Structure 1
């Protein structure tokens, strides 16, 4: 046994990160506050990248540092999560298009989907300008992408 936090696991190209709902995650009704789903999705994307071999600190520690920012996020709330629920954040990195990564995510309780997200993140220079991810980064992400575009095949 280890005291190290888990980054979840992969099942095929799906990343799965278990989370538990704590009191701090809920509103006065005992349901997960809507903004906390965004936090769960952030953890899922970050830990998915971590298991792919890409750490946020590593991205900043280059001669040309880079980062990811969310440029679009569409949420669909299906069912509520409640205090003490055991949830799974499911993440699929779908495609890399220029500086963008397209990602689908879902928070589930057992077989029930509770919230879905369609997410677009953009790779940026530290001054905020978009940039293409490095070839090494794309090579680490590629095995988990559902689709590759002809333009990306040239990089």
Structure 2
């Protein structure tokens, strides 16, 4: 099931031409992923206290169009746990019905010392583990 997250483009998100600065799309999709984790009931602060964190290990991004100051965007995300450690997100930023940015993001579950560790049970349950 796709998750939708609204984003309004503010002045701080734009470059001198009033167009969204390319790196800010990564911020928009990060916020959407954070919302999904919270909605699934995964408490990242509690995880960190137990020595477990998520780390983005790969991003594939396509810049297809552009957004401008004042635009109202929607980040559409689907996600799937892959293997014991990885969580893959397919994300699109849409302006109306037009996709202007697309990314595939892979996150890994890791110990705070940087060692791979098993995904939390709530996330594994998404695939039937």
**TM-score, normalized by length of structure 2?**
0.93
Distance 1:106 1:85 in 2: 15
SS of residue matched to 1:92: strand
Higher relative contact order (CA 8 A, sep 6+): 2
Structure 1 residue ranges, 4+ long, deviating more than 2 angstroms after superposition: 134-137
Q: Does the 8 Å CA contact 2:42/2:122 hold for their aligned counterparts?
A: no
Name the counterpart of 1:58. Answer: 46
Residue 49 (structure 1) aligns with: 37
How many residues align? The count is 129
- Normalization by structure 1: what TM-score? 0.78
Deviation at residue 95 of structure 1 after TM alignment: 3.4
Please give the residue correspondences for 1:1-155 in structure 2 after superposition, counting only pairs within 5 Å. 13-62=1-50, 65-139=51-125, 142=126, 148=127, 155=129
Q: CA deviation at 1:97?
A: 1.5
User: Structure 1, unaligned stretches of length 5 or more?
Assistant: 1-12, 143-147
| Cα shift at 1:136 | 3.9
- Separation in 2 of the partners of 1:98 and 1:49? 17
Query: What secondary structure does 1:34 align onto?
Result: coil
Measured on the aligned residues, the alpha-carbon RMSD in Å equals 1.4
